[in-house]
Chain A
Amino acid sequence: MANIMIRQNPAGGLVFYLPKRDLEAAIEAIEFDTPEKWGGELKLENGGSYYIDPIPKPARLPVSVRARRLGAAED
């Protein structure tokens, strides 16, 4: 489990940030994206994937959440 931060880039897309590793990557797909349920599996542009427990959609980004690594992106 790792703390991650999800923020919005100026273009409107979501950006994943892992402070511990200074890993910044655009999120290509988010499993659940509705006002009540937001989160699930995050697919990153660098090939990695992380899982966050679905929560109600945060009113404001960025938000820090706990995430579990599913597929390694780092070498």
Chain B
Amino acid sequence: MSALTREDTEALIAEVLEVYPEKAKKDRAKHLMVNDKTLESSKKCITSNRKSLPGVMTMRGCAYAGSKGVVWGPIKDIISISHGPIGCGQYARAGRRNYYVGTTGVDAFCEINFTSDFQEKDIVFGGDKKLAKLIAEIEQLFPLNKGISVQSECPIGLIGDDIEAVSKKASAEIGKPVVPVRCEGFRGVSQSLGHHIANDSVRDFILSNRDGQAFEKTPYDVAILGDYNIGGDAWASRILLEEMGLRVIAQWSGDGTLAEMENTPNVKLNLLHCYRSMNYISRHMEEKYGIPWLEYNFFGPTKIKESLRKIASLFDDKIKEGAERVIAKYTPPMEAVIAKYRPRLEGKKVMLYVGGLRPRHVVGAYEDLGMEVVGTGYEFAHNDDYDRTIKEMGETTLIYDDVTGYEFEKFVETMKPDLIGSGIKEKYVFHKMGVPFRQLHSWDYSGPYHGVDGFAVFARDMDMTLNNPCWSKLTPPWLKKEAEPLKQAA
């Protein structure tokens, strides 16, 4: 049961909106809703993927963040150049903890910041020569790279540099793919367009590179799409799939390689974890190579079991048996985790505000632990995400799209959740308000949270945060003293 009724939640939305000027109020009202499971389509009650209002605090990122940070960055043997001024690359460097196996600087490059470090003269005279020189230098210093991608930052688009021509020439010279990615930060309304641009550049420059080459196929080949191996997530997912008899031949893009991506057209099925950032390439592969794709969810025992069975249903009996075997094997350890943590977490309320898939995917894991998600929202989702969310959420859950800093704080003040899951930009605001908080973008330097192994870590982390003794020590002693004698007198 939700803490608030439908009327209360609607009143809360109205109250929060009161502070805006007329026009802004009208616009923001479209982005907030109370969940109604009977709805077929989210279209009529929530608007998403729209430009944020000037003047409000939005938590969105930019197209460069979506392309370099999310899709291209985690590919370990491709060097992604942050082409433009140095800040974008430096502040996006290694922050997402996309784990990989490899020797950094030798055959893996995710954690290094490669940038063309634009100066005034590059803006005035153009940076194409610098880019060509940079690529030659990379080739000399890091000969084991398998390819290079050029991630444009805002000025590249503004001054009109021709990175495509430079990349084409460089690619011919070094004999490796050099991919120009037009992901200037000003494009689109959020990082979502960056995912799309990145997917399109993978499609144009990478995906069909090995078409027609011999590949030893098995009927059980699958690819994991949209798992960025944050804290080892993809590995925790991969072992489940391999144990049920499938062969994972590619990871997109956490701990992924160029060769894996080029071989992906040979798979039987694409398994899609983050729908928002990788549905574009899945749709393309479905059309071009006839590979079906399937969304799955590896957060929490209920969803893991459901997903394993769903995946197995597309294969023969051997895999179906394998799935049952895996479920049987892992049910006792998962139940042990629930038995340990559920009593400590039961009945707690959670509010989420994350990115592309977690606002709906982690709900199952929280419910397995007896917790309830009372509010959820996406930074950059589109309508199709909300269509999927409505079905997952409870009846009167508050749903907010691109929530502003002010709205989020007000919602938390009124709804008083026991835990908030969001990103680094929100973390310290809520810490100062005295609300337990977990970063759900990067798992707060923990992880993995996917799969069976991940669920144990997830439960432990939630317990660690929620039941941390520090939350009772937020009132300073001089304020406490005042309260205590009063109590005694009463």
Contact = CB atoms under 8 A, between A and B. Distances in A.
For chain A, give the interface size range. 10 to 19
Contacts of A7: 283, 286-287
B287 A23 contact: no
Contact of B383 (A19, A24, A60, A64): A24
A75 B43 CA distance: 10
Interface in B42-65: 43, 47, 49
Contacts of A63: 287
Nearest to B382: A22
A45 B39 CA distance: 13
Given A19-B280, A22-B382, A24-B383, A64 B287 contact: yes
Contacts of A19: 196, 280, 283
A75 B47 contact: yes
Interface string B265-306: 000000000000000100100110010000000000000000
B40 to A, nearest CB: 8
Nearest to B384: A24
A46 B41 contact: yes
A43 B83 CA distance: 44
A5 B285 CA distance: 12
Contacts of A25: 41
What is the predominant secondary structure among interface residues of chain B facing chain A?
A: helix
For chain B, give the interface size range. 10 to 19
Contact of B283 (A5, A23, A46, A60): A5
A60 B290 contact: yes
A10 to B, nearest CB: 9
Contacts of B290: 60
A40 interface: no
A50 interface: no
A23 B383 contact: yes
Interface in A1-22: 5, 7, 17, 19, 22
A60 B292 CA distance: 12
A49 B40 CA distance: 19
A24 B42 CA distance: 11
A62 B283 contact: yes
Nearest to B287: A62
B41 to A, nearest CB: 6
Residue of B280, B382, B383 with most chain A CB atoms under a 10 A cut-off: B383
Contacts of B286: 7, 62
Contacts of B382: 22
Nearest to A17: B283
B201 to A, nearest CB: 14
Nearest to A23: B383
A17 B283 CA distance: 10
Given A22-B384, A23-B383, A45 B41 contact: yes
A75 B192 CA distance: 20
Contacts of B287: 5, 7, 62-64
Contacts of B283: 5, 7, 17, 19, 62
B389 to A, nearest CB: 14
A19 B286 CA distance: 14
Interface string B378-404: 000011100100000000000000000
Given A5-B283, A5-B287, A22 B43 contact: no
A63 B283 CA distance: 10
Interface string A23-63: 11100000000000000000001100000000000001011
A28 B287 CA distance: 21
Contacts of B40: 45
B2 to A, nearest CB: 28
Contacts of B384: 22, 24
A17 B196 CA distance: 14
A7 B384 CA distance: 15
A54 B387 CA distance: 30
A61 to B, nearest CB: 8
A26 to B, nearest CB: 9
A60 B290 CA distance: 8
Contacts of A22: 49, 192, 196, 382-384
11 contacts: A7-B283, A7-B286, A7-B287, A22-B382, A24-B387, A45-B41, A60-B290, A62-B283, A62-B287, A63-B287, A64-B287
Q: 5 nearest interchain CB pairs?
A: A24-B384, A22-B382, A62-B287, A46-B43, A62-B286
Given A7-B283, A25-B41, 8 more contacts: A22-B49, A22-B196, A22-B382, A22-B384, A45-B41, A46-B41, A46-B43, A62-B286
